[in-house]
Amino acid sequence: MIETAFTPYQSLGGGALIGLAAVLLMASIGRIMGATGILAGLFQPANAADWSWRAAVLAGMMSGPVAVMLITGEMPAVQVPVSQTMLVIGGVIVGIGVTFGAGCTSGHGVCGMARLSPRSIIATLTFMLTTATTVYVIRHVIGA
């Protein structure tokens, strides 16, 4: 386990930027800023324009860490406290879950909750609960 510093100001500021991006995407093309939906749609686009907006937004997302490095001189920290096997298992499970659940932290947790969508509120409460339970079981019951 890795201890991480409490960063209320960076996290609040970063969160505000996530919200700003969600508002701007709605204002520009009327779409929900959901990472799952944007990514999955890239592989079965309705048409060329549908593919290109997704590709442009995803390219922008992936440029985020380099932009942060250019401003602060440091790449944002990515500390992975789990094995690569766990990343594969977790990744497949996340992929299945977000597809059936039709959204993840950004789509349900931010955009849907901000619209007071009952589906998104229930989805968010559900995954926050199962994530916390999983972390508790792995760290304190199994003791990995």
Partner 1 sequence: MRMIVLYLIGLVFGVGISISGMANPAKVLNFFDIAGTWDPSLAFVMGGALVVTFIGYHYILNRPAPFFSASFQLPTRRDLDLPLIGGSAVFGIGWGIAGFCPGGALPALGTGRLDVFIFIAALLAGIFVAKALQAVLVKRASAQA
Please check whether residue 75 is in contact with residue 68, taking contact to mean a CB–CB distance below 8 angstroms. Answer: yes
Q: Can residue 45 be called a binding residue for partner 1 (CB under 8 A)?
A: no
Footprint (CB under 8 A) of partner 1, residues 53-112: 53, 56-68, 75-82, 84, 86-106, 108-112
117 binds partner 1 (CB under 8 A): yes
Q: Is 35 in the site for partner 1 (CB under 8 A)?
A: yes
* Minimum distance, C-beta of residue 51 to partner 1, in the bound complex (Å): 12
CB of 49 to partner 1, least distance (A): 9
Q: Quick check: 47 binds partner 1 (CB under 8 A)?
A: no
Question: How far apart are CB 92 and partner 1 at their closest, in Å?
Answer: 4
Site for partner 1 in 13-32 (CB under 8 A): 13-32
How many residues bind partner 1 (CB under 8 A)? The answer is 112
